[in-house]
Structure 1
Amino acid sequence: MRRMFFVGAWMLASALLAATPAMAEIRIIQSPGGEVGPFLDLFEQVRESGERVVIDGPCLSACTLVLSIVPGERICVTKRAILGFHAARSVDRRGRFYAEPEASDAVLQAYPGPVRNWISRHGGLSSRLLLLKGRDLAAIYPRCR
């Protein structure tokens, strides 16, 4: 059965679609990120399922953890794919953001080597959003067929 996960503006939602017996896939269409926990749970389930991940739009922040959890040979990108990276941060009870340098280091080390290298060449993880797309992205992950 072909499954597509639509990651929307503020929530992670899934929907079952038409059956495609040849290969099941998860399609990331748009994800602004969010709390890390739900993304870790989802991508661990995807890793265990054996499904392929198609990145077909913006996959920002916590969504990029897919690269650390699902084997790279099961990830492909479309021309619309954009990966967005920034340093880890938390929010206190008053709604103020603060940096989490140890978490940022751990996340960076968990990314595959080519992604880590790209991030390093573009200034490293910081509060600024780094966008990996186009030719740079296609040099790391294959285009979906």
Structure 2
Amino acid sequence: MKFATGLLAAVLLLAGMNASHAAIRITDDRGGQIGTYVDKYQSLRTSGETIIIDGLCASACTVVLGEVPHDRICVTSHANLGFHAAWDLGANGRAVINPNATQALYSLYPSPVRRWIAARGGLKPQMIFLRGKELMSMYRPCYLDARASSPH
């Protein structure tokens, strides 16, 4: 009887969910142009979708932390956020730090993330990673949902 009651509860729960309860799962996103990510995540801000970070979210991908409300982001034990200074291509195709873009990126992050970055010397050319217990202390844990889709 317990099984039947549990099954009925699960069916009713799933039947009551609509598209606003959908989830986007980030698993291996190495980033790209900051503006592209700002646009992408601003559109998700009003969608009602939950963001599940379940793997690498590096570079411009981390814009999600500032563009999507904190209560709609959750992290799994596999979540790994990578941060570094913003850069442009300079002479001879070499990467050159862009201080203005770096400051704009930094200002997007919620204050606990900014404090974590500052405690490690700020955004620099080298990637720094936020994961594990430190990350779990800043964001709620989530559990994978079969309905979650990957944006790639």
Q: Which is greater in Rg?
A: 2
Residues 2-50 of structure 1, C-alpha deviation per residue, up to 9 Å, x if partnerless?
Answer: xxxxxxxxxxxxxxxxx99352111101101111222112111111211
Q: Name whichever of 88-97 and 48-57 sits farther off.
A: 88-97
TM-score (norm 2): 0.78
> % of aligned pairs identical?
45
Letter in 1 for 2:62: T
Aligned partner letter, 1:95:
G
Match of 1:53 among 51, 54, 58: 51
User: C-alpha separation between the residues in 2 aligned to 1:73 and 1:60?
Assistant: 20
Q: 1: distance between equivalents of 2:27 and 2:85?
A: 23
- One-letter identity of the residue aligned with 1:21: M
For 2:86 and 2:61, locate their aligned partners in 1 and report how far apart those are by CA, in whole Å: 13
Report the structure, 1 or 2, having the larger helix content. 2
Distance of aligned partners of 1:91 and 1:47 in 2 relative to their CA distance in 1, 3 Å threshold: same
Greater shift after overlay, 34-43 or 120-129?
34-43
> Where in structure 1 are there 5+ consecutive unaligned residues?
1-18
Alignment of 1:13-92 (within 5 A): 21=17, 23-92=21-90
- What is the TM-score with the length of structure 1 in the denominator? 0.82
SS at match of 1:128: coil
Measure how far apart 1:122 and its partner are.
Answer: 1.2
Q: Give the partner amino acid of 1:137.
A: L
* Change beyond 3 A, Cα 1:20–1:41: farther
The alignment yields a C-alpha RMSD, in angstroms, of 1.7
- Larger relative contact order (CA 8 Å, sep ≥ 6): 2
